[in-house]
Structure 1
Amino acid sequence: MSRHKTGDRFDDDDYPAYTMGRAADMIGSTPAFLRALGDAKLIEPLRSEGGHRRYSRYQLRIASRARELVDEGTPIEAACKIIILEDQLEEALRINEELRSADSSEET
């Protein structure tokens, strides 16, 4: 579940530390909004042993970005697509930079 030992779980961006209610409070939304993001497949919360949704800090950053877009008038489905495209662009730019760095080091 976590890449880190037990004591470091709360430092792990991927550790599902927050309940739905707490997560909604943290991003200034409602539990229904978080459920809608899950329905749209933008974020998929992990489940506790009791079946309750649990969110990580990484997922809350994504949910917060979605809330910003929706607050600006973007439909939730479009907001989810925008966030996915932003994430893909960020990853492509990171890979491009790594490749450029590798090419530069081979030339020297």
Structure 2
Amino acid sequence: MDLKPINAAAPSLSPTRGSAADLRRAAEGFEELFLTQFLKAARSASLGEDIMGSSAVDKTRDLFDAEIARSASARTGLGIADAVERQFSRFVTPNGKAD
């Protein structure tokens, strides 16, 4: 498989593609997704057979983990959302409109 080099003629990201508020929401969503995957991986480490194992229990745990991740990402300030926001802030304008 041949990979083509990126050239200057390729379209670049414009700073008017979104607003700072959109970026923050996306960054917080990424942090939430990260925490959800972290919790899912932690739950996959089994200490033995689950005596209450069923698809309903598994689904309930998944929903609980998603809620924990949503809540934790909004409150704990792990810094993942802040890092994503810093990384991509140069691609947005504060109000999301063209200058």
The answer to which structure, 1 or 2, has the higher relative contact order (CA under 8 A, 6+ apart) is 2
Specify the structure having the higher radius of gyration (Cα): 2
Q: Which has the higher helix share?
A: 1
TM over 0.5: no
Normalising by structure 2, report the TM-score. Answer: 0.32
Normalising by structure 1, report the TM-score. Answer: 0.30
Q: Which has the higher strand share?
A: 1
